[in-house]
Structure 1
Amino acid sequence: MDGYTTALVCAAAAAGAALVRSGKRYIDNSAVELLAAPDGVRAMIEAHCPSLVAPARARLVPPPYLPTGMLQTIYGAMVALRRDSESDIEYDRQLRTMEDGGTVSLDWFPARPSGPECAQPIAIVMSGLGGSAYEYHIRCLAKHLATKSRAGMRVAVLNYRGSGRTPLTSSTMYNGYDTSDIYDTVGYLAQSFPRAPLVCVGFSMGANLLARYLGETGDKSRIAACVTVSCPFSGETAGRAINAPGLLFDKFFQPALTGTIKRIVKRNQDIIQSGAITYDIDAIMRAKRVCDVDNALTARAYGFKDCWEYYAACSSTDFIERIRCPFLAINALDDPIALPEGLPMDQIAKNPRAAIALVAHGGHIGFFSGLSARMWHLQPVLEFLDAVLADKAE
């Protein structure tokens, strides 16, 4: 072997070794970090949730083409309308009128229970801001829970007022502060199907609302277990993140989120103006950022002086220690909205019923793993809820 060939072989070997080391670091950095008090829900997770604790399985290895939280988040939004074997379902819709005349919808999969004798667990699922039952990650979760659960769950996705093709029939729109529709929905399901255990899964804004609801109800909650995904526990932290200037936020998130709200407002101006509060519709339609919409609409609806007072009031951090049912939060450390500094680590550590699973990569409602970019979080959600339901059944 001449000197030139020897040099090429050595260079190739060095490059291969470097690639192996880089790949090992990439995989090692994908392990799940679980925080839970040793005397509480941790024992159940260690016994029944291998995707959160088993060394070979408790990891989210992101696709090489989605290595950052921002890319994961954008990709999740890009595939929101995708239909494939994981998400191709049809819902059974139920419209419900709230006490103030507002309307929410429940999208059931595979179908609404036929009567009060139903003993199958019901999983109530709530989306993020601007979302609905039709988003890809919601449909994937609904199918996963309904077809793979040992407990045989039915899924009921709660669509907020004016979202997911739900008509707006009152001046009050959905928001991240008011939990009254959750109270009504849980009460209705508990009364209509008294034999069916109720569990919850919430994403982003829906996750934060569920965490607040569970803290508000405490020991009186009718929910057997809850999982939150990409929960922005600190409203102020998330508000600063989402309203911060930046190319991707300015060109992608802001237009998408404000556009969704503007379309609802434009279609329903007369209804929105029919209440006791008068809104500046022109200001709402001119809004370029989420904070501008919240200043002109959401903060005014609940008497807050501005969006920042509204964001602070939305926070669920102070409610975590009051939660009395098994509670699991799933968050990514590279989430561009639910930033790590806003996570209530101390509060979770103090509550034996609570746990948080952290992954290095996953973004905001992304959690795509492997070369085929499959949603990693579906399995830990299923394992946790099944474990709680099995324990309740014993």
Structure 2
Amino acid sequence: MVYLPHFLALNGHIQAFIYCWIELLQVKLRQPLKYDRELFKLSDGGTIALDWHIDNETGGGRPSMGGKRMPILALISGLSGGNDNLYLYSMIRMASAAGFKCVVINFRGASGVQLTSGLIYWMNLWQDLKEPIDYIHSKYCLLDGQKVRRIYAYGVSLGASLLVSYLQNESSKCPLDGACSFGAPYNLQDNVPYFKQNGFKFYDFSMGHFFYKSALEPKLQELSSYVEPEKLENFQRRLYQHRFSMMDMDQNAIIPFFGYQGTHGLNEYYRNTQAVGRLHLIKVPTLFLNAEDDPCYNPELYPYKEFEGASDHIVLAMTKRGGHCCHLSGGLWPVQWQPSVFMEFLEYIERIKVKGD
């Protein structure tokens, strides 16, 4: 399948600009998708929302154990952690049309859900995927101990990083039947200098300020009920000091908040969260899609050699253009291309699994 970029999308920077406007006009202002919300309690006391897409075929949200048992597709967002992103909307529309029951696994404290523990969402909390996926698999995919429907996952950017970390840590114990990673970073630590400087520091600045204003600052009051005052005050001060740089805020505020201190702690954090060096641990059929002109990732850091010999379960698809989680195509009105690639992959796996039943 060949990617033909939209005629206006000349490079990754322009893709990002067009994407933001399309997302605003088509998704955030219109809110075209309807969800049935199910709240899920994490083992540490935190709460996340499972948003089941209300599709036209069944007219409902949560899966039924009777009648047609549609395969489940769990979707995980990027930095914003919500359910109203273009890359989710595009995928849900195509997956629903193909007969998949879609559910967005929101991050803790995101999408209108209050914090109910002393943790915020970030790259090291892969268990925030394990617990809801285990729950969905147990409740909706098993009947009397027998598997009656399959479950897949699709993660984007930060969500893809968490998904890959989950796949690596769970390895052969993972209940997923297949997975899709869109725009995942692989070598987070070595990519920091590139991310901070590329685009005249625009991405580091804009993502940092966006994350601070939309996901961190509004939650500080809620954190005060669960975090010691001195720790929270230090966290708040560091966030404010570094709010105009995603990487500086990450290394000087967020990572220390999770208990990783000093240079040794920083190195340990990156060892525990980045994909490179551990791709061989993935035992679930997984398709990775990235673009060489992704303005958020150094093209020299893509682990091509590791993909070649890591595992028979993973495949990397690269396009020369596509930007960061954009891949805009189409005619006058841009549309995202990646859902067609991922759905071809998922439908192929589903057909193979059905034949094997």
If the TM-score is normalised by the length of the shorter chain, which range does it land in? 0.7 to 0.9
Q: How many residues align?
A: 333
Residue 121 of structure 1, CA deviation: 0.9
Determine the structure 1 residue equivalent to 2:5: 62
Q: Is the 8 A contact 1:273 1:279 kept in 2?
A: no
Q: Deviations over 1:129-153 (max 9, x none)?
A: 1231111221221121011x2xx21
2:76 to 126, 131, 137: 126
Deviations 1:144-173 (A, max 9, x none): 1011x2xx2101111001112122111100
Match of 1:105 in 2: 49
CA distance in 1, matches of 2:53, 2:221: 29
Distance 1:74 1:313 in 2: 32
CA RMSD in angstroms comes to 2.4
- Cα distance in structure 2, aligned partners of 1:124 and 1:97: 17
Q: Could you tell me which of 330, 338, 348 is aligned with 1:377?
A: 338
Residue 252 of structure 1 and its aligned partner are, at CA, apart by 3.2
* Contact 2:186/2:274, CA 8 A, preserved across alignment: yes
Equivalent of 1:293, from 249, 257, 267?
249
Please, which of 233, 254, 257 is the counterpart of residue 186 of structure 2? 233
Q: Could you tell me how far 1:64 is from its partner in structure 2?
A: 2.7
The structure-2 alpha-carbon separation of the partners of 1:238 and 1:259, relative to structure 1 and needing over 3 Å to count, comes to: farther
Residue 132 of structure 1 contacts residue 159 of structure 1 at CA under 8 Å; is this kept in 2?
A: yes
Distance in 2 between the 1:353 and 1:278 partners? 42
Unaligned ranges ≥5, structure 2: 55-60, 143-147
2:327 counterpart residue number: 367
Are 1:136 and 2:86 matched, yes or no?
yes
Matched residues in 1 for 2:83 and 2:67: separation? 26
- Cα distance in 1, alignment partners of residues 254 and 69 from structure 2: 39
Could you tell me the TM-score, scaled by structure 2's length?
0.86
Equivalent-residue separation in structure 2 for 1:118 and 1:315 (angstroms): 39
SS in 1 for 2:297: coil
Equivalent AA in structure 1 for residue 216 of structure 2 = K
Describe the SS at the equivalent of 2:74.
Answer: strand
Q: In the alignment, does 2:239 pair up with 1:284?
A: yes
Letter in structure 1 aligned against 2:247: C
Distance in 1 (CA, whole Å) between partners of 2:223 and 2:213 is 15
Q: Percent identity?
A: 22
Give, as a single letter, the amino acid of the residue that structure 2 aligns with 1:337: C
1: CA distance between counterparts of 2:205 and 2:312?
42
Q: In structure 1, how many angstroms separate the alpha carbons of the residues matched to 2:67 and 2:250?
A: 43
* Residue type at the aligned position of 1:370: G
* 1-structure distance, mates of 2:196, 2:218: 21
Separation (CA, whole Å) in 2 of partners of 1:322 and 1:361? 29
CA distance 1:82–1:92, shift in 2 (3 Å): farther
Aligned partner of 1:88: which letter?
A: P
Shift of residue 312, structure 1, vs aligned partner: 4.5
Larger RCO, structures 1/2 (Cα 8 Å, 6+ apart): 1
TM-score by length of structure 1 reads: 0.78
Between structure 1 and structure 2, the one with the greater Rg is 1
* Preserved CA contact (<8 Å) 2:39 2:50: yes
Structure 1: tracts of 5 or more residues without a match: 1-57
Partners of 1:378 and 1:173 in 2: how far apart?
A: 29
